Amino acid sequence: MDQATAIALIRRTLDHLADGTTDMLPDGHVRPVAFYTDEMQFARERALFRRLPVAIGYSAEVANPGDFITHDLSGVPLLAVRGRDGVLRGFVNACRHRGTRIEWEACGSGKRAFVCPYHAWTYRDDGALAHIPHAEGFPDVDRTTHGLVPVRIAEHCGLVWAVADPTWSGDLSAILAPLAAEVDALGLATHVPYAARRYEIAANWKLVNDSSLDSYHVRHAHRRTIASMFLDTMCVFDRFGRHQRLFLAKRTIESLRNTDPATWRIRDHGSPLYFFFPGTVVLLEPDHAQIAQMWPVSPDRTIVTGATLIPEPPTSGKARAHWDKNVQIFWGTLVEDFALMESKQSTLRAGANDHLTFGRFEHSARWFHEAVDSALADAA
C-alpha cells in the first residue's frame, strides 16, 4: 500500500470520527437462509474453488529449485514445484498411468524428479514424463502428451496461487490485481510462514466472511480479546471487483489528527484487511501479516487454514515469544468468531429464521454475497 492510499484511508476514518459516522450503504439487505443450507447452492459454490485463484501455499516454501508443495483443499489434488530453471510450475498431483498421487508429502525440497509410488513412472521437475519402467508394455503411450497435467499458477502477497481446474486458461494475476499489487509492494514475498493453523468448523463457508469482516461485532464478540484496541463499528470498506479491502481502525488513530500525514504509519493505527474472493484473507499487522483461508467442505462444514507471515524465522526465545503472542491474539479472536458461526449455523439448520438481516454498515457481507451471485452467474 502506498502512502497516498494509507493517508486516504486514515482521513476517511478521522472524518467519520469527527462527524460521528461510519462507512455505510443507503440501506441494509437480507439473505434467505437457504443461501447457507441448500445442497445445490453449496455444490455450485464449491465448484467456484476449482475455477478461481486460491492460495495453495507460501512463496517461502518454494523459494529454491527442488522445493515443492502439495495441496488438497480446492477439490483437485495439486502439486507445485520450483524447477531447476527457477520457474514455479503447478500440476495436478496425479500419475498419468493409473492416477496414483505422485507426491504424498505436504512439502519438501531437493526434488529433481517425481517417481510414482505405484509403478515408478517418473516425471521431471517440469512435469515431462521421463521414464516408464518396462516401456515395451506401453507402445501406444506418447510420452510428450503424458506429462503431468499443468495448472495456472502465480505468486502474490507471499502466497502461491493456483486455479485448480487444468482446463482453465485465464490470466490468474489479472484476477487478483489491483489488490495483489498493493500487497505485493509490501514485500511479503520473502516472509516465512510461522505457526500454521487448521480448524474444521461446523458452519457454512460464507459465514466465515459474514461473521468476521465487519467492525460491528468487535465490541461484543471480542470483548475478551481485541475490543479494547479497536474503535466500535468503525471501518472503511472498498470493493475491487469481487475482492475487498477493509481498514479496521484502532483507537490510537485519533492521535494522528493535526499531525503531518507524511509521518502516518497506517499499520500502527489499524489493520488493513484484504479479502480475495472467494476465500483468502490477508490481514496486515505492524510487522507481519496474518493469512486465513476458508475451504468449503459441505453446506455446514468448513476448513479454515492459515499462518502468520513473518520477516524471518525466529532465532531467539524473545522473537518466538513476540510472534507467539501475535499468533495467539489472531487465532484466539477467530476462534471466538468460529463459535458464533457454529451457533448461527445451528439455528439456520433448525429453521429458526427464514432470512438473515444485514445492516447498512455490514456491507462487506453484502458485497461478498453479490460476488457469489455474480461468480455463479458467470459459471452457469
Q: Could you list the residues that contact Fe ion (CB under 5 A)?
A: 212, 337
Q: Which of 259, 282, 346 is nearest to 1 (CA)?
A: 282
Q: How far is CA 356 from the centre of its chain?
A: 25
Q: Which of 159, 133, 146, 181 is nearest to 61 (CA)?
A: 159
Nearer to ligand FES, 35 or 123 (CB): 123
Nearer to Fe ion, 67 or 337 (CB): 337
HSE-CB at 244 with a 13 A cutoff on CA atoms is 27
- Minimum distance from residue 274 beta carbon to Fe ion (Å): 16
Residue 118 touches which of Fe ion, ligand FES, none (Cβ within 5-8 Å per kind): ligand FES
Write each residue from 90 to 129 as x if it is in contact with ligand FES (CB under 6 A), else as -, in one continuous string. -----x-xxxx---------------x-xxxx--------
Residue 337 touches which of Fe ion, ligand FES, none (Cβ within 5-8 Å per kind): Fe ion
Is residue 131 near ligand FES by the rule CB under 6 A?
Answer: no
Residue 121 touches which of Fe ion, ligand FES, none (Cβ within 5-8 Å per kind): ligand FES
Q: How far apart (Å, rounded) are the C-alpha atoms in residues 191 and 184?
A: 11
Q: How far apart (Å, rounded) are the C-alpha atoms in residues 89 and 127?
A: 8
- Minimum distance from residue 100 beta carbon to ligand FES (Å): 4
> Residue 128 burial (CB < 10 Å; 0-12/13-18/19+)?
middle
Respond yes or no on whether the N-terminal peptide bond of residue 178 is cis (omega within 30° of 0): yes
- Minimum distance from residue 128 beta carbon to ligand FES (Å): 15
Longest dimension (CA), the chain: 80
- Minimum distance from residue 117 beta carbon to ligand FES (Å): 7
Residue 266 touches which of ligand FES, Fe ion, none (Cβ within 5-8 Å per kind): none
Residue 212 touches which of ligand FES, Fe ion, none (Cβ within 5-8 Å per kind): Fe ion
Do residues 62 and 81 make contact, with C-beta atoms less than 8 angstroms apart? yes
Nearer to ligand FES, 98 or 224 (CB): 98
Nearer to ligand FES, 116 or 192 (CB): 116
- Minimum distance from residue 319 beta carbon to Fe ion (Å): 27
Q: How far apart (Å, rounded) are the C-alpha atoms in residues 115 and 103?
A: 8
Q: How many CB atoms lie within 10 A of CB 229?
A: 16
Residue ranges that bind ligand FES, judged by CB under 6 A? 95, 97-100, 116, 118-121
